[in-house]
Amino acid sequence: MVATILVADDHPLLLHGLTSLIARDPGFRIVGSAQNGTAAMAMIRQEKPDVAVLDLSMPGMSGLEVAAEIGRQGLATLCVLLTVGASQAQLYDAVAAGVAGIVLKEAAIDALLRCLHRVAAGGRWLPAELVGEAMQSEAARRTKWHDLSSRLTSRELEIARLVVTDRPNGQIAFDIGISKGTLKIHMNNIYRKLQVSSRAQLLQLAAGQIGPEARSGRTAKADSAAGPRLLSRPAK
């Protein structure tokens, strides 16, 4: 049985190369392609492909957001994410969202085709060396945040949320109408309750738990720029 495939990537050369190479496989039929997540989601609703191959970082909606939306809408389309270097939080969220496959863009095209065949047959392609550590460490980090953040007052949680947006302390103090000295007292209390000793450790602990998910700009740029490496075939 031929599986229908939709491909979405904001890198035009990679998008063209992927659709061409996947289309050569007699087990697949391309039913659409898109250069952003919003267009991909619209096509998925219309075409109902068996599998959607999604770049993790795209304009409009990320591949992860598309996968989560597919789950919320109860659509049958299975998702395979392409990434240059997803963070552990992104890998954890991808598995939690029901993503069936994750493939690094630096992999050979044969790896993607094997992944698609397995996913189309009802299997999963989640290499342990890629997601195993992420699942364990992220689960531990999120549990720690959940347990320790309950100790924060509403004001301290508000400040922690602003810290995660990367605002400087002076701006945070101004935004919530307190002095820098009072903010320093709050910050010391936050550090003590969360068992961290620096702003960097606070950001690491709270990443993805409060505030925007946006601390992935570097990954997003890398995913967008890396594309053509996935088109290379393995050396023989």
User: Over the stretch 68-127, which tens digit does the pLDDT of each residue have?
Assistant: 999 999 999 999 999 887 777 788 888 888 899 999 888 878 899 999 999 999 999 988
Task: Quote the CA–CA distance of 177 and 193 in Å, as a whole number.
Answer: 23
Task: Quote the CA–CA distance of 154 and 152 in Å, as a whole number.
Answer: 7
Task: Clarify whether residues 81 and 93 are in a common domain.
Answer: yes
Give the per-residue pLDDT at 133: 72
pLDDT in tens, 129-138: 777 776 667 6
Task: Clarify whether residues 12 and 114 are in a common domain.
Answer: yes
Full residue range of the structural domain in which residue 146 is found: 135-206
Total domains in the chain come to 2
- Residue 236 belongs to a domain: no
Sign of the alpha-carbon dihedral angle for 18, 31, 60, 41: negative
Give the per-residue pLDDT at 55: 94
- Residue 125 belongs to a domain: yes
pLDDT in tens, 189-211: 999 999 999 988 888 787 766 65
Share of the chain above pLDDT 90, in %: 56
